[in-house]
Amino acid sequence: MRNAILAALCVVAAAVLLDACASLPKKSLTGPLVIAQQGSFFVGGRDVHSETLSTLPNFAPIGTITVDQIYVHYQIPVDARHHPITLVHGCCLTGKTWETTPDGRMGWDEYFVRKGYPIYVIDQAGRGRSAANPSIIDAVKLGKTPPDQLPAIFSAGHEAAWVIFRFGPEYPKTFPGMQFPLEAQTEFWKQMVPDWNPSLPTPNPTVPALSELALRLNGTVLVSHSQSGIYPFQTAALSTKGIAGIIAIEPAACPNANGDLQPYTKMPILVLFGDYVDQSPRWAPRLKACREFVEATNNAGGRGELVMLADIGMPGASHMVMHDKRSLEVAEWLSAWIERKLEQ
Amino acid sequence: MRNAILAALCVVAAAVLLDACASLPKKSLTGPLVIAQQGSFFVGGRDVHSETLSTLPNFAPIGTITVDQIYVHYQIPVDARHHPITLVHGCCLTGKTWETTPDGRMGWDEYFVRKGYPIYVIDQAGRGRSAANPSIIDAVKLGKTPPDQLPAIFSAGHEAAWVIFRFGPEYPKTFPGMQFPLEAQTEFWKQMVPDWNPSLPTPNPTVPALSELALRLNGTVLVSHSQSGIYPFQTAALSTKGIAGIIAIEPAACPNANGDLQPYTKMPILVLFGDYVDQSPRWAPRLKACREFVEATNNAGGRGELVMLADIGMPGASHMVMHDKRSLEVAEWLSAWIERKLEQ
């Protein structure tokens, strides 16, 4: 008992010391990581009755499952002093995107925790640890539903992803100076998972779930990537409550510049793009549309910014900015942007 | 620069203090959690060429994907002083199993870290953050493959899972004194995901991946649950190297008592069951078979134990032992078992 009290006091003393450390301006990116609280939970979800949950004798076909929820993993540093950040991965990927880079360096999840941000990493609805619904697949297997009704589940092959992620103009060529750690590409390909998104309702269930999460966090910066780029904007269109800011990393889409822009005038917005965009028929028009959106939003009274990493001294960024060799430089710049736009 | 040095020194001082805390016998389950290192990586995996990765115009159908790897998330406490533990979830679930309980209490993942164990939580191959292969689904959708060739993907409905997880004899009746936090069942159902296992190769790719992980960790306790119960044994049959011990929590299968038991004589083995097993036509024969396996292994020179939680003062355990209201009591008992069997 005495030892337990001593141990508790000892940890409290260490925590007080660490808290004092935190008041020093520069946060350490090495050494022990001190977490006040961590864990995981789900947001959203709905019950679905199905008669084709299984084609196996030992699992009943009839029953209720819960789908459309999002898995959320969080860490809150002991010296949290910034807005919480919610990290939303892109196509064919999961929350793993934000963790350890393919070449084994610290991910943005830990970086921001070390900088004093509570971090919430999600798996989009229907992917990773967020359940998909196999009912139609089993209905087709059982001959109850025609094959063309199967969900359009797809995987991005290495060769296609190579071009989409702008490692180079075509597989396996690389853009000169490109910063993605290609020496670790075999580890990177293992991150990619089948994407069920085309089979999900519209708006994607991740959107209302992000809204619920933002309300619960009472003010979070929604950070999207690629295919999820439109989600924080769609979330803001549902309700701007709880959204402290939006950072769209290489969004596949921005809201229509000719649509209702009022929701997007309520918070600071950053649209961030890497390099070689003009050389990509897929990305060049997206960049153009995002430029038009930001300009229109600012004309409507908004506080939007579109930044090309090459223009701020960080050339060579691929689409996987959070994995690039300069990933932590970019994260540091983002942290400064958040402090400048949201906290001054 | 001066501030950076001060901050670094400050954190080092705090770490030294925390390390001193750690030398006190009783580890704290509250207060800040101090992590020396955390992150995630993949083990295993193989490249597959496919011509049906997609049915969508904007994603190429032809290409290479990587499948059969397992996602591994780890945390190493600053004062690690035990064998690493590898946590392997069961059917229709993911690594989330071991995190925060449905009613919001600390999961076994954090508990063991706080007790000084490095913890490795995996997602089984083909599930969660470990990629599945959608090629056959797309081939059937495109009319290239007959529907009966579809993978047997299944989800366990709430009603079926209720009985399998022994919340009660039939849905929605409960066993008297049953310890699962049913008040949080809606959060629990959200953990369940479609299970692709029947469509995976034999042995399940999780098995060789666990072997590779065990070698890398140079001695780990493999903790399985339910459907994964047989995997650590299959891993040991591949190679006993790196396997410091096996803990099978409510295994759906134990090795055949009449088979080659030599691999299982090389390490301490614990088979742990909860309550109400005799009232379950699904589980009673499995328990019986595991008893026979443990007895036969011990007759062959092994060090196996089969423990019923009710017999050691913890009645009322459901199949989801790590979520039950007594979850941390069970974890504490497991920690003592590991210390007793592996470290004395």
Q: Give me B36's structure tokens.
A: 């020396």
Q: What is the mean pLDDT of each run of 10 residues along chain B (344 residues)?
A: 52 56 62 97 98 95 98 96 97 98 98 98 98 98 98 97 98 98 98 96 95 98 98 98 98 98 98 98 98 98 98 98 98 98 90
CB-closest option in A10, A12, A36 to B24: A10
pLDDT at B236: 98
pLDDT digits (tens, 9 = 90+) for B230-251: 999 999 999 999 999 999 999 9
Q: How far apart are CA A278 and CA A282, in angstroms?
A: 9
* Optimal mutation site among B154, B164, B197, B226, interface A, most CBs of chain A within 10 A: B154
Smallest Cβ–Cβ distance between A64 and the set B53, B158, B191 belongs to: B158
Instruction: Assess B2–A contact: CB distance below 8 Å, yes or no.
Output: no
**B176 burial level (CB within 10 Å; 0-12, 13-18, 19+):** exposed
Alpha carbons A174 and A162: distance in angstroms, whole number: 9
The answer for B 53-112 residues in CB contact with A (under 8 A) is: 53-56, 59-60, 62-66, 69, 71, 73, 78, 94-96, 99-100, 104, 106-107, 110
Alpha carbon distances (Å) from B311 to A128, A129, B273, B306, B307:
38, 35, 10, 11, 7
- Closest-CA residue of B relative to A154 is B54
Residue type, B148: D
Distance CA A141, CA A288 (A): 44
**Tell me: the pLDDT tens digits for A61-103?**
999 999 999 999 999 999 899 999 999 999 999 999 999 999 9
CB atoms A192 and B133 under 8 Å: no
Q: What pLDDT digit, counting tens, does each position of A265-288 carry?
A: 999 999 999 999 999 999 999 999
Determine the Cα–Cα distance for residues B65 and A153; give it in Å rounded to an integer.
Answer: 14
Mutation pick from A50, A58, A137, A282 vs chain B, by most beta carbons of B within 10 Å, is: A137
CB atoms within 10 A of CB A165: 23
pTM given for the model: 0.94
Q: Establish, for the pair of chains A and B, how many residue pairs have beta carbons separated by less than 8 Å.
A: 306
Q: For residue B136, what are the CA distances in angstroms to A43, B52, B152?
A: 31, 7, 11
For residue B340, report the phi and psi dihedrals to the nearest 5 degrees.
-70, -45
Q: Which of residues 264-303 of B touch A (CB under 8 A)?
A: none
Q: Which of A267, A231, A274, A268 is nearest to A249 (CA)?
A: A274
| Residue B60 near residue A157 (C-beta atoms within 8 A) | yes
Alpha-carbon radius of gyration of chain A? 22
| Best A154, A191, A200, A216 residue to mutate vs chain B (most B CBs within 10 Å) | A154
Contact at CB, A32 and B78, closer than 8 angstroms: yes
Q: Within a 10 A sphere around the Cβ of B21, how many other Cβ atoms?
A: 23
pLDDT of residue B25: 43
Q: Which residues pair with A245 in a beta bridge?
A: A221
A204 within 8 A of A231, measured Cβ to Cβ: yes
Measured CA to CA, the distance from residue B275 to residue B319 in angstroms comes to: 8
Q: Quote ipTM for the complex.
A: 0.94
Q: How far apart (Å, rounded) are the C-alpha atoms in residues A243 and B243?
A: 47
